[in-house]
Structure 1
């Protein structure tokens, strides 16, 4: 099976599995297959957290990786068709779960598919009717180069892919977000949006169900409540509507700081709306009980400091910035992480989300004061970024991520 078109996990995920010596539980032989399709400019690693959770829910999960920025839509759809042929030849029932542009690719594939398709599809933040961001910068050579031949066709006008695709005739559930960490994008988009796609433009005629969650475009696939909704739709053809069954958005405390320093307020907002490790902490330990922030230094006109969230039973999340250009995030569980695989998957996805490459195949191991620390660095200089896993008594108790800004 070609790793360039389709694989059990991406190359990165395979390396991580080998390093961590722990995989998600294997699905039973009769398990239904779910094919994950990532979005524009991402890799299969961006879907690794969701893959782990769906595997734990009893599905056989495959992850389709493709060169989203270098080939036209037609070629990407051909790649997907070939991959599905390898994976699910002769089967009419299998499922797709997509993020962003991945949903458009699956719509195109199913529109051309001659064999029956009896599975279900869940799309996360799909630009089913295009995005105004692409419209606004359609004439920009830089944007066209960044988006590639497929991405530039995600606009809302007649040249967009959306205009060529009609109503869907398969069982489709759509989950989109209404939180944004992209103020420029949100300024260009009318109405509620996730920073890249308007809530209204995620819709498509013929969909069986549609829900909005408090998530951003970039990180929607990593939320536990989204994974629960995905699994529920795949099994039932509808999303959960009983609020008691759903995970509520955590309530984040305000931060104590001298004179409510602007840096602290801005850092809190970034953490609450942007940081997946902080969200993992809230999901693992409960809503944070306190928040403290402090500015520790000023360098060349910039402020640096730390923000610390404390959770029930003493677990903590801390983000620090240090002069001249260093940022470090630390998540520590007092009793250890209940699900090591999901925790590790979040760290892998976290590195990709911030655009950093980490060599997960090689680690430096140190032992100090009863702690075993595995450190992984970027493959070039080893100085630009690093990730560390800290173990006590065989349990994963802390994750760290450092980045040279």
Structure 2
């Protein structure tokens, strides 16, 4: 059986955004699934309940199941692994995921504007997560590679809020998490990092070698 990779898009995203990355991984020999989830309408519990059976069926079809999540997708994958961990779990890579919480989400909460902009995702994306949400994400006790960006394409609201390096939406600092295996900062933007050939090569390297490739 081949090794498999689950791809998961970010907040407000669609599977088509992950399609190019999926093709690059298929060329390396991986089987791929690239499901959709309702990031705005559904609470994280319902998202995980919907995705977990699909992940379990895919895990039965591959020798090892890896996970790659962009932005909020990385948090959903952590919650899914904590909810129903596959016996053949391999490695996990997150791309621009605000593991420590999004400063932009915190700003929207301070303005009282989180409802219209974030709806059900707000409690997952903010840094002041309730204990139940934090517990749902689980501890990182599996190989996790984190890729962060520090080259936003254009000025943004987050750029005005963040004083430290960021990708246009998420700071590099917010992408760190206790238990991470490796962390890599690349000159990419939050929304376009999933299309980067360099990012794809780094993902492939981590899935194979449990570390990113450095010159």
Instruction: Identify the residue that residue 3 of structure 1 maps to in structure 2.
Output: none
Using the size of structure 2 for normalisation, the TM-score is 0.91
Instruction: Identify the residue that residue 189 of structure 2 maps to in structure 1.
Output: 216
Report how far residue 31 of structure 1 moved: 2.0
Is residue 236 from structure 1 mapped to residue 206 from structure 2 by the alignment? no
Is residue 55 from structure 1 mapped to residue 35 from structure 2 by the alignment? no
Give the Cα–Cα distance (whole angstroms) in 2 for the partners of residues 112 and 170 of structure 1. 14
Unaligned runs of 5+ in 1: 1-29, 244-405
Is residue 77 from structure 1 mapped to residue 51 from structure 2 by the alignment? no
* Bigger strand share: 1
Instruction: Identify the residue that residue 105 of structure 1 maps to in structure 2.
Output: 76
Instruction: Identify the residue that residue 205 of structure 1 maps to in structure 2.
Output: 178
Deviations, residues 15-68 of structure 1 (Å, cap 9, x unaligned): xxxxxxxxxxxxxxx321111000000000110110111111111111011111
Give the Cα–Cα distance (whole angstroms) in 2 for the partners of residues 41 and 202 of structure 1. 19
Residue 138 of structure 1 aligns to a residue whose secondary structure is helix
Give the Cα–Cα distance (whole angstroms) in 2 for the partners of residues 69 and 82 of structure 1. 21
What do you get for the CA RMSD once the two structures are aligned? 2.0
* Larger Rg, first or second structure (1 or 2): 1
Residue 134 of structure 1 aligns to a residue whose secondary structure is helix
Instruction: Identify the residue that residue 118 of structure 2 maps to in structure 1.
Output: 147
Q: Which range is displaced more, 107-116 or 217-226?
A: 107-116
Using the size of structure 1 for normalisation, the TM-score is 0.50
Alpha carbons of structure 1 residues 83 and 206: separation in structure 2 relative to 1, 3 Å: same
Deviations, residues 199-223 of structure 1 (Å, cap 9, x unaligned): 0110111111110000011000100
Q: Which has the higher contact order (CA 8 A, sep 6+)?
A: 2
Is residue 38 from structure 1 mapped to residue 9 from structure 2 by the alignment? yes
Alpha carbons of structure 1 residues 104 and 39: separation in structure 2 relative to 1, 3 Å: same
Give the Cα–Cα distance (whole angstroms) in 2 for the partners of residues 55 and 215 of structure 1. 23
Aligned length: 213
Q: Contact conserved, 1:92 with 1:116, CA < 8 A, in 2? A: no
Give the Cα–Cα distance (whole angstroms) in 2 for the partners of residues 160 and 207 of structure 1. 21
